[in-house]
Structure 1
Amino acid sequence: MTVRVRFAPSPTGMFHVGGARSALQNWIYAKQQGGVFVLRIEDTDAARNKPEWTEGILSALDWIGISRGSYEGPYFQSANAGEHRAAATRLYESGRAYYCDCTREDVQARTGSQYQGYDGYHRDLGLGPGPGHALRFRTPDEGSTVVVDLIRGEPTFENKLIEDFVIARGDGSPVFLLANVVDDMTMGITHVIRAEEHLPNTPKQQLLWDALGVKPPVWAHVPVVVNEKRQKLSKRRDKVALEAYRDEGYLAGAMRNYLMLLGWAPSGDREIVEWSVIEDEFRLEEVNPSPAFFDEKKLRAFNGEYIRALPVSEFIDACQPWLTGTGTIAPPPWQPEEYDADAFAAVAPLAQTRLAVLSEIVPNVDFLFLASPLIDEAAWTKTMKDGSADLLDAAIAAFEALQSWDAESLKSTLEAVGAERGLKLGKTQAPVRVAVTGRTVGLPLFESLEVLGRERTLTRMRAARLRLV
């Protein structure tokens, strides 16, 4: 039997990091088993679906390494509507489903509770199909449904506690539960690896598989992903869009690595490992069923490690979208003609050691490409105090007299200026840094001044000095 897994997102918004984790787990499992990864777009929610969301799913999968052409699909659930309706008809004709025209208010009036589930009123009344008649599955009165789960063991659900659930609406359209089952049957899915939030629906789906005469798939419900308050990650409350992390400058390798650690870990005391190690060592049955904490601070640390591990040439290439404003990245504060690739290449090794995300490259190097620096007024106020004017005057004069404009000469010269005033280098260079870069922190100062050049450096220092008059 060929293993066939599926990833079935809905195109109703940005691509959730939890969905990305499920996609990766399905992808690796299929690869390990010599099987097939199927992409199915569950697009039956016409009011919320948008073509751009579908493209977003495909692009996000591309980014994390599940490239187009390497999987089967994408299929679209809406294209299988005929099979959904045919399955509903078979269930009705076989007596496994019946029609019901009860409203929620009807059930509440009979049971005396708004919290009571459906009471089976129409089970034996023989109501036929018609406008407003929903089709309900006839859940067995006795026994239990055992879900054999690779991660959670054998959760058991008493059938008497499962209400006769709706499988087709009053207009005849099948609901998600039935459509999902029929699609998996049609596509020959053998293993369903999905989020824990779907577990409550699984006994209902397994009953549908049984009623339609097909062996259910192997189930594996991976743990829910939670925030620092141990609440399920929410699009309304949390930063969950994979595209947002991509556009902020997280590397795909770092994101892949981190997502796979949500509920699982490689052997040994390791977390940052080669993708080939993850592909080799990942085991579904070793996934921890407990909720998995998505720690953005830890992800940032991961990403910083991945950035520092890049060859410098790859780091330079990776920064280009932020330096040139390409794709979905906002344009930088300088004009395209102001960008100097050679200047960036000169400071790239210095910048590479300081970034947690690639978007941080812009405030680190903007002073190189702008006609004048963007002054952080808080930094100016904090730094330009009594004595700063005298210090800048002396530094300007000393720099003007330099024969060699290199980092070491600049450093020793400014050290001497500070020593004459009883200042350590840190105090001496602070006004110069703010005057030249606009900030109190950034790349190593003297290497930056070397790349910026004599004339631009002195022009900025003189402008700062005039502002202190």
Structure 2
Amino acid sequence: MSEIRVRFAPSPTGYLHIGGLRTALYNYLFAKRNGGKFVLRIEDTDQTRFVEGAIENLIHSLEWAGIKYDEGVFIEDGHIVERGEYGPYVQSKRLPIYRKYVDELLEKGHAYYCFCSKDRLEAVREEQKIKGMVPKYDGFCRNIPLEDARKRVAAGEEHVVRLKLPYNRDIHFHDLVRGDITINTNDIDDQVLLKSDGYPTYHMAVVVDDQLMGITHIVRGEEWLPSTPKHIYLYEAFGWEKPTYVHLPTVLNKERKKLSKRHGDVSVDDFRTKGYLPEGLVNYLALVGWSPEDNEEILSMEDMVERFSFERVSKTGGIFDKDKLDWVNGHYIRSKSVEEISALSVPYLVEAGFIDDVFVNENEEWLNILIDTVREGMSTLSELPEKVDFIFKDKLQIEEEAYAEHLENENAKVLMQAIKAELEKIDMIDMEYAKGFMKLIQGATGIKGKNLFMPVRVALTGSVHGPELVNVLYLLGKDRIISRADAILNR
């Protein structure tokens, strides 16, 4: 069997969508599982929808996600470059190649020039809709002799080139996810192959590129399934062996509709900004439409490569469940070293205005303890400012119910006085002192158990629930604890 070659071929019409990332991931897993090659190609034939910076975003997003490709378009020293023996890998650089193959189809009678105006095409489609027919091209220009058509082209008449499908012929193919599929050519349009601006359509370019780049498996979204018979016919018209097709189920929201910006975050950048780790997002995304045989849910990239197969990919759309993503991401936040999570979390604290770069450089240990104190309950890094807000606030908001139950009594006043008296004996709180602090307060007041710990926790954090009190004492430090004790005494 020849080497397996797959490709991810997005259009630079926006930032990388979460569904696109999953398609890239499945291509990558399949290639790595089978010792094959993974190619990144840019399909930019629709120049009207080109978005500046989209190619760079795509490359950076794949790199961030840990999805490495072998050939195609890369960024080196801030510039887009191409590496591999099958280039160019950007379609707009391949126009002469497509023109050559369009001419071949015209010569063989598998394509024809079409001179129909937009007005005529719209009128035909409207009439077809009124009659309850499927709107498609009516073949008006199919039988214009090639020589006559070429004269009209030479005279400057605006035109496109269309695929000339045979009438009433079944086209069969096997899809690794969908199984055996048959579509009749009478249900398919004579697709435009070359537009009036000289650019090929997706349907022409994708077949030529996949053939010339040696692509063996086409792994793409199910929205391309109806177009596949056209592509198979083109392979046949050129005398090429068709590749194996794999059409992936759509990523859906909880309402079973396609994920879109109207319903929230959809780009990889959105999730990255929200503080999802690449390991968490990629692990979860792999499970939206696929599952390993043992149904394990926490999988490293190496685990996924080892277990991945298209036999385990669902035919139906995968539901993107944010709660499940949060659970998976939370696992990775807790499993990484505190130093790693701290480094990734600092930008969120800086953005919130809690710290600055100078503070970061001078308080590395303090920051590590801060992160370790609250990360147990975190699902994303962006939650951090809210989780640690009580540490940085000058004026603490105390829950009314907690205040009424634990601080509106003489016991609390005694504790606050003891805390102040004890802290005035020292210069600063280190972790060793923090570990023994509550014992000192117990010794000074005779108060113990719940009556000791709950009032102190509420006074220092504003809530009856929260992180390890020893860490809180260390993080708040002497001056802030005294200030919070005073706030209770003066209330």
Q: Give the equivalent residue in structure 2 for 1:25.
A: 26
Partner of 2:79: none
Residue correspondence of structure 1 range 163-312 to structure 2 within 5 A = 163-312=189-338
Map Cα deviations across residues 185-233 of structure 1 (whole Å, 9 max, x no partner). 2212111111111111111111122112221211111111111011111
Residue 33 (structure 1) shift: 2.2
Give aligned-pair identity as a percent.
Answer: 33
C-alpha change, 1:207 and 1:463, in structure 2 (3 Å) is same
Equivalent-residue separation in structure 2 for 1:414 and 1:347 (angstroms): 26
Q: How far apart are residue 181 of structure 1 and its match?
A: 1.4
Match of 2:122 among 89, 100, 105: 105
- Residues 1:359 and 2:382 aligned together: yes
The equivalent position to 1:117 in structure 2, one of 114, 132, 136, is: 136
The number of aligned residues is 453
Cα distance in 1 for residues equivalent to 2:107 and 2:389: 71
CA distance in 1, matches of 2:105, 2:320: 42
CA distance in 2, matches of 1:385, 1:431: 12
Where does residue 81 of structure 2 map in the other structure? Answer: none
State the distance in 2 between where 1:275 and 1:108 align: 48
1:376-428 per-residue CA deviation (whole Å, 9 max, x = no partner) reads 5xx555655596486764333110232685245337838997969x9685466
Q: Distance in 2 between matches of 1:211 and 1:365?
A: 65
TM superposition shift of 1:108: 4.2
Q: How does 1:146-157 map to 2 (within 5 A)?
A: 146-157=172-183
- Verify the 8 A CA contact 1:383 1:431 in the aligned structure 2: no
Deviates more, 1:400-409 or 1:310-319: 400-409
Q: In structure 2, give the amino acid aligned to 1:458.
A: I
Match in the other structure for 2:355: 334
Q: Which moved more, 1:272-281 or 1:290-299?
A: 272-281
Q: How far does the alpha carbon of each residue in 1:66-125 deviate from its partner, in whole angstroms, 9 at most, with x for none?
A: 247x44435211111121222222212221111223322342476573853222122213
Which among 421, 427, 434 is matched to residue 401 of structure 1? 421
Moved more, 41-50 or 214-223: 41-50
Is 1:73 the counterpart of 2:92? The answer is no
Q: Deviations over 1:115-139 (max 9, x none)?
A: 5322212221336135332221111
Cα–Cα, structure 1 residues 92 and 139, in superposed 2: closer, same or farther, change >3 Å? same
1:438-453 to structure 2, matched below 5 A, reads 442-453=466-477
Whole-angstrom CA distance in 2 between matches of 1:270 and 1:210: 42
Structure 2 residue matching 1:47: 3-state secondary structure:
helix
Q: Which amino acid aligns with 2:166?
A: P
CA positional deviation for 1:367: 4.7
RMSD of the TM alignment (CA)?
3.0
The equivalent of 2:99 in structure 1 is 85
CA distance in 1 between counterparts of 2:464 and 2:63 reads: 39
TM-superposed deviation, 1:360: 2.0
Aligned mate of 1:136, from 142, 162, 166? 162
What's the CA shift string for 1:166-190, capped at 9, x where partnerless? Answer: 1122333321211221221221211
Range moving further from structure 2, 271-280 or 146-155: 271-280
Structure 2 residue identity aligned to 1:116: P
Structure 1: gaps (5+ residues): none
Taking the TM superposition and a 5 Å limit, the aligned residue runs for 1:338-349 are 338-339=359-360, 340-349=363-372
Equivalent position of 1:459 in the other structure: 483
Tell me which amino acid in the other structure corresponds to 2:122.
E
1:388 and 1:431 in contact (8 A); partners too: no
Structure 1 residues 289-298 or 78-87, which shifts more?
78-87
CA distance in 2, matches of 1:289, 1:166: 30
Counterpart code for 2:474: E
C-alpha distance in structure 2 between counterparts of 1:459 and 1:210, whole Å: 81
Which residue in the other structure is 2:51 paired with? Answer: 50
Range that drifts further, 271-280 or 290-299: 271-280
Q: How far apart are the structure 2 equivalents of 1:432 and 1:72?
A: 56
3-state secondary structure, aligned to 2:165: coil
Give secondary structure in 2 for the equivalent of 1:453.
helix
C-alpha deviation, 1:19, in angstroms: 1.0
Unpaired segments of 5 or more residues in structure 2? 75-88, 427-432
Q: How much does 1:365 deviate?
A: 3.0
* Amino acid corresponding to residue 280 of structure 2 in structure 1: A
TM-score by length of 2: 0.83
1:22–1:245: structure 2 CA closer, same or farther, 3 Å change rule? same
Aligned partner of residue 5 in structure 1, secondary structure: strand
Change (3 A) 1:412 1:217: farther
> Pick from 342, 347, 359: which aligns with 1:316?
342
CA contact (8 A) 1:133 1:171 kept: no
Bigger Cα displacement from structure 2, 291-300 vs 85-94 = 85-94
Q: Distance in 2 between matches of 1:345 and 1:304?
A: 17
